[in-house]
Amino acid sequence: MEKIMEFIRTFPAGSAQYCWICYKSDNVAAKKLYESFGFRNNGETLGDELVTVLRL
């Protein structure tokens, strides 16, 4: 995950202010992992998944 975040911060697809990722609400391990990198739930859902966002 650290390598992925390093890559995202090189802005390979152009300038961005946010990075977001979705996960299933019962996936506690994913929630903890994403939160450890600064992602926060924004109250939105995509289908049956929660949206979590990181300000870059």
Render pLDDT for 21-56 as a digit per residue (tens, 0 to 9). 999 999 999 999 999 999 999 999 999 999 999 999
Q: What's the confidence (pLDDT) of residue 11?
A: 93
What pairing do the DSSP bridges indicate for beta strands 49-55 and 18-24? Answer: antiparallel
CA distance 42 to 53: 7
Residue 12, Cβ density class (10 Å: 0-12 exposed, 13-18 middle, ≥19 buried):
exposed
Q: What's the confidence (pLDDT) of residue 48?
A: 95
Only one residue has tokens 């019962």, namely 26
Query: How many DSSP H helices and E strands does the chain contain?
Result: 2, 3
